Chain A
């Protein structure tokens, strides 16, 4: 290739590489420092893999760091329960509103986007009396945190499911199914849900991400989840807590990276990206 356009493209590529390398290096620096910290020997001298070996030894972790185990299991169970509750509440409601109560769609949208203006710390303040009743009626298990987490995740899950419903034109499909004799339940189960798979996956993924990263509500309700356990551990055994933090970050990155190849929308997907994909865009062929 020759000419000005090639030169422009080369300049652009150079800029991209420089900018991204600087950025990745800057982001990696504290993470590298954290890793370095976990391998330091006593008093800052020498190197040791003791911290990591301890972590890998699950039985040792269970005996020496029971809080960590407890927090990990709690977060995992919350990460399973929260998306389930969210889907159970949102999918039927949103489909139902789309099909039978279109006048309510604005109200539902408003309520689902409301949590964006209610920071977690504020929600904690307001949930006090509510959770007093929850504990009274349902026991004080950590799992009940999922009820609050669903609220936190509502805006992102709503956007994801809404885009999915819009993309499959629920109205037409359900009318076709009804004209062939299907009941509303059958329409839900056999027409809507199978077609919503990617939106459901995306919304669930967003929920899992939020649950695993949640700290504020758990701490202020005196419950132990992964983040709280890490935090408390940090006061007593810094190396282990830093190592756990790194592991969590690395794990989350790998999952996100792998998911980006599967093709479903990531945590940061916005309506722009979806809209742009659905239009025919004529792009200049890449060099």
Chain B
């Protein structure tokens, strides 16, 4: 199946021995990437007896799943926009520092850590800080804010959003900073000599130039939040208000026989959403790099 397109791509005068060199790679990715993807793709349409069915896909329309899907989309969208705006401003602030300054290294290292190692450690840090004896609870109480029962943290549309922002904003800084730094000083100077003010520069030059990168980064933030599992798992102990949690739920042994493939249908839905957003991201990224290269 893979040989035909390969043969066409290679042309006529290719010694077949050279192909042997890439066999390990293709074998590996077939087993650990392509087959799992196929398992999900195909399994979504199989019933308990491996017969074709739309039942799994229909099961996606049950209230529980629809709710999880909606919640995931809302959570991802809100934290993507919030993270993009805050992270964008921060990225601009960092870009104004000298190229090799310690401040810049410090901030980018901090963002690198928080973006990658979110999940469990971050969730625990929040639980500790917002708990009954937590530091932040005490601060808030001192300022007169009633923190109530403390369950605010575990609501998917409350505390969880705040925790998500804690790795969304750093991710935005990491992804968007190169774009901001790619703004050439000559563009600013050219705007000035042509008579433009700082506002003109941002509105007519820097803004439009950065827009594809900004939106692209925001899309990346969306898929990041949409796919996130660890943080949600660490904070939400009851119920499955988010899609990744629902999918994980179908993997446990409590699932009714014949219903495991509903999880695959959910996974397929997730892949579709992510694939669409990532395609948009790639297109925007390509446009941005075309402008920045010159």
Interface of A with B (CB < 8 Å)? Answer: 12-13, 15-16, 19-20, 23-24, 27, 29-34, 36-38, 40, 44, 89-90, 92-93, 96-97, 100-101, 103-104, 106-108, 111, 114-130, 147-148, 150-151, 154, 209-210, 212-213, 215-216, 219-220, 227, 230-231, 234, 238, 241-242, 245-246, 248-249, 252-253, 256-257, 260-261, 266-273, 275-276, 281-284, 286
Contacts and interface: CB of A to CB of B under 8 A. Distances in A.
B125 A253 contact: no
Nearest to A184: B21
Given A219-B233, A220-B248, A44 B133 contact: yes
A27 B166 contact: yes
A38 B97 CA distance: 35
Contact of B131 (A37, A219, A260): A37
A128 B39 contact: yes
Given A89-B28, A101-B22, A267-B112, A31 B125 contact: yes
Given A37-B129, A119-B274, A272 B181 contact: yes
Interface stretch (B49-57, B61-69, B144-152, B170-178): B170-178
A271 B289 contact: yes
A124 B174 contact: no
Contacts of A90: 25
A242 B126 CA distance: 10
B119 interface: yes
Contact of A245 (B36, B94, B124): B124
A225 B184 CA distance: 45
B182 interface: yes
A246 B9 contact: no
Best-surrounded residue of A23, A126, A249, A275 (most CB of chain B within 10 A): A126
B120 A245 contact: yes
Interface in B229-277: 229-230, 233-234, 244, 247-248, 250-251, 263-264, 267, 270-271, 274-275
10 contacts: A16-B103, A30-B125, A37-B128, A96-B22, A101-B14, A104-B10, A126-B35, A126-B40, A246-B125, A276-B178
A95 to B, nearest CB: 9
Contacts of B234: 231, 234
Contacts of A248: 117, 121
B108 to A, nearest CB: 6
B112 A256 contact: yes
Contacts of B204: none
B293 A273 contact: no
B269 to A, nearest CB: 10
A90 B25 CA distance: 7
Contacts of A267: 112, 115-116, 174
Nearest to A114: B33
A216 B136 contact: no
Contacts of B205: none
Contacts of A122: 40, 227, 247, 267, 270-271
Nearest to B10: A103
Given A97-B22, A122-B271, A151 B125 contact: no
Which secondary structure characterizes the binding site on chain B? helix
A219 B177 CA distance: 33
Interface in B218-233: 223, 226-227, 229-230, 233
B28 to A, nearest CB: 6
Interface string B22-42: 101110110111111111100
Contacts of A230: 120-121, 124
B279 to A, nearest CB: 8
Q: How big is chain B's contact interface, by range?
A: 35 or more
B194 interface: no
Interface string B95-120: 01111000101111111111111111
Contacts of B166: 27, 30
B211 interface: no
A210 B116 contact: yes
B93 A126 contact: no
Contacts of A31: 125
B274 A117 contact: yes
B155 interface: no
B215 interface: no
B122 interface: yes
B190 interface: no
Contacts of B289: 271-272, 275
Given A220-B248, A276-B181, A283-B185, A270 B39 contact: no
B134 A37 contact: yes
Contacts of B114: 27, 249
Given A89-B25, A270-B175, A20 B135 contact: no
A256 B108 CA distance: 9
A261 to B, nearest CB: 7
A30 B129 contact: yes
A119 B247 CA distance: 12
Given A126-B37, A150-B28, A268-B115, 10 more contacts: A24-B107, A33-B125, A93-B25, A118-B274, A119-B226, A220-B248, A245-B124, A249-B121, A252-B116, A256-B112
Interface string B64-90: 000000000000000000000000011
Contacts of A249: 113-114, 117, 121
